[in-house]
Amino acid sequence: MISRIAGVVEAVDDDSVHLRIGPVCVRVLVPACDRARWMGLIEEPAVLHTWMTFDGQVGGANLEPRLVGFASPEDRDLFHALTTVKGIGHRRALRAMELPGDQIARAIAAADTATLRTLPEVGKKLAETIVLELREKMEKLVGPQAPAARAGSPSAKRRDADSEPALDDTASAAVAVLMQMGEKRTVAVDLVLRAIETDAASVGAPGSTSSGCATPSGGATRTADTLVTSALRIRSSRT
């Protein structure tokens, strides 16, 4: 099985990334939550953690191989776990992964069917089935969720805020670039949020930093490149 590939992002479609590896271009299906990340890496090097699957009827003569790629091994493992649930094939699992993988895993571990029902093509019955079949596996990945945490305790809210604040496409692309440069996601998100705050303060027009959204209310247009530059400057100032 091909577990990881590296190359240069040549193009991004609605459901896939075209990765150039030497003279070969490989189409890799990706989840919805990662599209902004790869859009920010056009003509940049990237690594995808992959899983091979097949389209068509089992035992049929027209099975077509499909390579599915993710930003982390953990997201790949979550995808594989979802496809073991009855009624969820690889296409449906990819569409359902509209939220970051760790957020979905925490929702499953906490039996948070309300969050799962916000995912595309996941209704009440399927959300309950996902929890029934995968909760134990997800608890091993993220740790068991206490009742107080499921009720929205301050510690749970802090964990959720620390792990995955809301980011718009520009901020997500900047985070993706920093991760490709070797930063952990939590560090990259923190640097980008600080860059947004610094930028808003410098132009005298506060952006939507309380929610983590990189949408300025005034001043020059913010791009992923400018956010990365500001984030690197902040990182350098810490050393």
Q: Are residues 44 and 82 in the same domain?
A: no
* End-of-domain residue from the set 122, 138, 163: 163
| Domain total of the chain | 3
What does the pLDDT read at residue 58? 59
Average pLDDT on 164-190 reads: 75
How far, in Å, CA of 231 to CA of 237, rounded?
A: 10
- Domain residue limits at 141: 75-163
How far, in Å, CA of 85 to CA of 126, rounded?
A: 9
Q: Are residues 159 and 179 in the same domain?
A: no
What does the pLDDT read at residue 229? 84
Query: 3-state secondary structure string, 173-210?
Result: HHHHHHHHCCCCHHHHHHHHHHHHHHHHHHHCCCCCCC
Average pLDDT on 82-86 reads: 92
Question: Does 12 have pLDDT greater than 80?
Answer: yes
What does the pLDDT read at residue 152? 45
Q: Are residues 178 and 228 in the same domain?
A: yes
What does the pLDDT read at residue 30? 93
* End-of-domain residue from the set 109, 130, 163: 163
Please state the pTM of the whole predicted model.
0.58
Instruction: Report the CATH number that the domain containing residue 89 is assigned in CATH.
Output: 1.10.150.20
Q: Are residues 67 and 79 in the same domain?
A: no
Question: Does 15 have pLDDT greater than 80?
Answer: yes
What is the pLDDT of the chain when averaged over all its residues? 79
Check if the beta carbon of residue 34 is closer than 8 Å to that of residue 16: no
134 or 175, which is more confident?
134
Instruction: Report the CATH number that the domain containing residue 40 is assigned in CATH.
Output: 2.40.50.140
